[in-house]
Structure 1
Amino acid sequence: MEAATSKCSSAETCPPVDLSGDAGWVAFDAPSLVGASLRFVSGEPDGNRYRVRYYRDPDQQLRARIWFGPETEGPPGHAHGGAMAAVLDEVLGLAAWAAGYPIVVGNLNVSFRNLLPLEQVVTIESEVISTEGRKVMVHGRICSGETVFAEAECLCITIRGK
């Protein structure tokens, strides 16, 4: 995906962006799975903070296309690390739910690799790595082509009685 050619300010509504998935990806209705808990990152699909669309790839792993808008700015012209961590928290937790594990995140370890320019559509990849008792380990990363912006390990804990 290419970076957006026009920059917008947080005072104006940014233009639409293309969040299409790759060939073989199937749209995934995340809100129908977990409800309103997705409102922090996914709650404003046309806002200036985040815009996200979820998919399942041919291996049934959860993928997302996400755009970091001007309201996620940290270093000038780039997404804040906390904004990136929030996205990884949502996507990796949702990956466990999509795999059939109702969870809460117990620990999220994020390693930042590169600055992420604002208004660029990137991909979030996720993979459920292992399950043991109530523990579900999910790995993921924010990337665009060969560039990795952040990687994360997420220890999820299943919710009793769900």
Structure 2
Amino acid sequence: MEETPSVVSSCVDLSGDDDWTPFDAPSLVGASLRFVSGEPDGNRYRVRYYRNAEGELRARIWFGPETEGPPGHSHGGAMAAVFDEVLGLAAWTAGYGIVVGNLNVSFRNMLPLGTVATVVSTVLSAEGRKIKVQGRLVQGETVFAEAECLCITLPQKF
């Protein structure tokens, strides 16, 4: 019987598209708020952030063995955690200091472990303290999940 290695190779290609610029989005919120992107060489997630030509946040994410839910596939909660971080950071990238108040995720396809997928995010609206952000978790034409969140801006003194 062959054993599964406890540590996955660090060779995971998280490169972005040609018109994307690397961006350190997590630095906007500080090291303590990096649940998903906090272990760049770990076995859960590996993440690299970019901005596209319009300044919208993109994330290239590898889903490792520690995200497993259904055998051989990522857990829905693992995908939801990714949306929480990426969509929240999309609002921060657009200049809004926020917390996520509501996150709705619709799962479309099972995501195999070891997949490198992209979260495409867009800030939809800003009205008063309410910021709406949407995102899609995709690989090519395959949509694994879609999400929309309502973010609430933080008081100035926070």
TM-score (norm 1): 0.92
Alpha-carbon spacing, 1:58–1:143, altered in 2? closer, same or farther (3 Å):
same
Output the CA distance in 1 between the equivalents of 2:46 and 2:19: 21
- Aligned with 1:87 (options 72, 82, 87): 82
Alignment partner of 1:99 is 2:98:
no
Alignment partner of 1:151 is 2:151:
no
The corresponding residue for 2:155 is 160
The corresponding residue for 1:17 is 12
- Aligned with 1:53 (options 31, 41, 48): 48
The corresponding residue for 2:37 is 42
Identity across aligned pairs (percent)?
A: 74
Q: Is the 8 A contact 2:26 2:89 kept in 1?
A: no
Alignment partner of 1:72 is 2:67:
yes
Q: Deviations over 1:83-109 (max 9, x none)?
A: 000000000000000000000000000
Q: Is the 8 A contact 2:103 2:150 kept in 1?
A: yes
- Aligned with 1:29 (options 24, 28, 44): 24
Which ranges of structure 2 fall in alignment gaps of 5 or more residues?
none
The corresponding residue for 2:117 is 122
Read off the aligned partner of 1:28 and give its amino acid letter.
F
Q: Is the 8 A contact 1:130 1:137 kept in 2?
A: yes
Q: Which has the higher contact order (CA 8 A, sep 6+)?
A: 1
Output the CA distance in 2 between the equivalents of 1:109 and 1:46: 29
The corresponding residue for 1:141 is 136
Following TM superposition, by how much is the alpha carbon of 1:16 offset from its aligned partner in structure 2, in angstroms? 1.7
Which ranges of structure 1 fall in alignment gaps of 5 or more residues?
1-7
Alpha-carbon spacing, 1:114–1:135, altered in 2? closer, same or farther (3 Å):
same
Following TM superposition, by how much is the alpha carbon of 1:10 offset from its aligned partner in structure 2, in angstroms? 6.4
Structure 1 residue ranges (4+ consecutive) displaced by more than 4 angstroms after TM superposition: none
Q: Deviations over 1:100-137 (max 9, x none)?
A: 00000000000000000010110000000001000000
TM-score (norm 2): 0.94
Output the CA distance in 2 between the equivalents of 1:94 and 1:37: 14
RMSD: 1.3
